């Protein structure tokens, strides 16, 4: 049982580290949260609208999106951006009737003067990464905006993000916040919306405005094309190519900007199976990026705190297996009284000698010690 005790203690320490990091992120957000112009740093305040709009390519990677592909294409063509500076790529890897629907909408909008093209790959080599890289080879824009099939961008989304690139040659990415269009569909979508807001409103804001590593969230962001190329391009050796590219770009010296006040609505997975597949991709991809970048992240030129935060950020999905290990070890250690030898109470916020309230004829505080018979501490 000594081995189980050591494993339990080590796992509890790791989980306590992630919990402590949450207590660090929360005050960072409260310090840097947007609260009007007096609380918003100058670099995050909206610059004036662009006078000479740069060329932008909007990439729409789709795969068997029968029910949302027309909505996506129509929403992108309504973007309030000069039509002669906007290039739209529908990157289609579909194997069903999605391709026919997408081609019909592309043909229609081309007759309306929209520079839009459909690029269909008969073989889905590299999956989404391969489609994006294929489109990048013929992209006309100086900047690359990416939207997944479940997004419905607001008409002013591109104008509100592209303006931040003015006068900032080392700004490689502007990331907007994910919004929700079906929050009230079910209890599952409400729970997901709460989790996504905690991730995108609190954590992303705190990390970016504190100078920590952040990541592109796969959609609803605008990249500088030169940043993508100098960072090594899109690589398909992980499922989270967005996280992989983000760290390679930041380690190469590029800057990122996160805009919590610019929301891009998206559809939350309404079924449990779709939610589980999404979490599997995110979890596996994050661990792949951890294995790929943990050495370079720790050996970077950033401050020690930034490098440690980057390691915690990359390994965040380890919380799930760590909690499972802790749960499976609790029962055997309780049966063999192995937990009595573990001072795990030091990992909590409340020390063992802190006074606590006991029921009695008079309410007073006493130090917590061994529990007397039939008395509650």
At 158 the pLDDT is 94
Residue 329 pLDDT: 87
Asked if the structure places residue 329 within a domain, the reply is no
pLDDT computed for residue 41 by the predictor? 57
Name the nearest CA neighbour of 267 among 345, 352, 179, 186: 179
Q: Does residue 18 fall inside a structural domain?
A: no
Q: What pLDDT score does 42 carry?
A: 58
Beta bridge partners of 91: 61, 119
Query: Tokens 């391969």 map to which residue?
Result: 130
Domain of residue 212: give its range.
47-318
**Residues forming beta bridges with residue 171, ordered by sequence position:** 255
The residues annotated as belonging to the active site are 93, 242
User: In whole angstroms, what is the distance from residue 48 CA to residue 51 CA?
Assistant: 9
CATH of the domain at 141: 3.90.550.10
pLDDT at site 376: 42
Q: Tens digit of pLDDT per residue, the chain (377 long)?
A: 578 888 888 898 899 999 999 999 999 998 877 654 435 555 566 676 777 889 999 999 999 999 999 999 999 999 999 999 999 999 999 999 999 999 999 999 999 999 999 999 988 888 899 999 999 999 999 999 999 999 999 999 999 999 999 889 999 999 999 999 999 999 999 999 999 988 888 999 999 999 999 999 989 999 999 999 999 999 989 999 999 999 999 999 999 999 988 999 999 999 999 899 999 999 999 999 999 999 999 988 899 999 999 999 999 999 999 999 989 988 888 777 655 566 665 666 655 555 555 454 444 444 545 555 544 44
- What is the pLDDT, as a whole number, of residue 321? 93
What per-residue confidence (pLDDT) applies to 365?
Answer: 44
3-state secondary structure the chain: CHHHHHHHHHHHHHHHHHHHHHHHHHHHHHHHCCCCCCCCCHHHCCCCCCCCCCCEEEEEEECCCCCCHHHHHHHHHCCCCCHHHEEEEEEECCCCCHHHHHHHHHHHHHHCCCCEEEEECCCCCCHHHHHHHHHHCCCCCCEEEECCCCECCCCCHHHHHHHHHCCCCCEEEEEEEEEECCHHHCHHHHHHHHHHHHHHHHHHHHHHHCCCCCCCCCCCEEEEHHHHHHCCCCCCCCCCHHHHHHHHHHHCCCEEEEEEEEEEEECCCCCHHHHHHHHHHHHHHHHHHHHHHHHHHHCCCCCHHHHHHHHHHHCHHHHHHHHHHHHHHHHHHHHCCHHHHCCHHHHCCCCCCCEEECCCCCCCEEECCCCCCCCCC
Distance CA 60, CA 300 (A): 34
Q: Are 234 and 240 in contact (CB under 8 A)?
A: no
Count of the separate structural domains present in the chain: 1
Enter the pTM of the model: 0.84
- Confirm whether 38 is domain-assigned: no
pLDDT of residue 354: 53
């Amino acid at each position: 049982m000594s081995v189980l005790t050591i494993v339990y203690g080590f796992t509890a320490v790791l989980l306590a580290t992630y919990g402590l990091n949450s207590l660090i992120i929360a005050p960072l957000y409260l310090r840097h949260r947007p609260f009007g112009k007096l609380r918003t740093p100058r670099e995050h305040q909206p610059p004036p609208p662009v006078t000479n709009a740069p060329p932008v390519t909007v990439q729409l990677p789709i795969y068997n999106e029968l029910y949302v592909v027309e909505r996506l294409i129509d929403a992108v063509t309504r973007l309030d951006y000069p039509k002669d500076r906007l290039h739209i790529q529908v990157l289609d890897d579909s194997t069903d009737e999605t391709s026919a629907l997408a081609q019909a909408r592309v043909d229609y909008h081309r007759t309306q003067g929209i520079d839009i093209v459909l690029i269909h790959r008969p073989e889905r080599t590299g999956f989404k990464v391969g489609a994006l890289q294929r489109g990048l080879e013929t992209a006309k824009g100086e900047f690359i905006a990416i939207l997944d099939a479940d997004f419905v961008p607001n008409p002013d989304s591109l104008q509100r993000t592209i303006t931040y690139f003015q006068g900032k040659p080392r700004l490689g990415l502007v990331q907007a916040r994910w919004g929700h269009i079906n929050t009230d569909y079910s209890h599952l979508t409400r729970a997901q919306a709460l989790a996504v807001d905690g991730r995108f409103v609190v954590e992303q804001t705190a990390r970016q405005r504190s100078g920590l590593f952040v990541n592109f969230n796969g959609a609803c962001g605008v990249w500088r094309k030169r940043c993508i190329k100098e960072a090594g391009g899109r690589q398909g050796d992980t499922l989270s190519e967005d996280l992989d590219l983000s760290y390679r770009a930041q380690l190469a010296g590029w800057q990122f900007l996160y805009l919590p006040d610019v929301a891009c609505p998206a559809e939350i997975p309404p079924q449990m199976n779709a939610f589980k597949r999404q979490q599997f991709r995110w979890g596996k991809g994050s661990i792949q990026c951890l294995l790929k970048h943990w050495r370079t992240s720790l050996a970077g030129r950033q401050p020690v705190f930034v490098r440690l935060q980057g390691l915690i950020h990359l390994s965040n999905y380890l919380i799930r297996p760590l909690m499972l290990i802790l749960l499976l070890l609790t029962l055997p250690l309780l049966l063999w009284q192995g937990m009595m030898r573990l001072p795990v109470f030091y990992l909590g916020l409340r020390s063992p000698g802190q006074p606590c309230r006991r029921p009695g004829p008079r309410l007073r505080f006493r130090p917590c010690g061994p529990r007397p018979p039939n008395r509650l501490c």
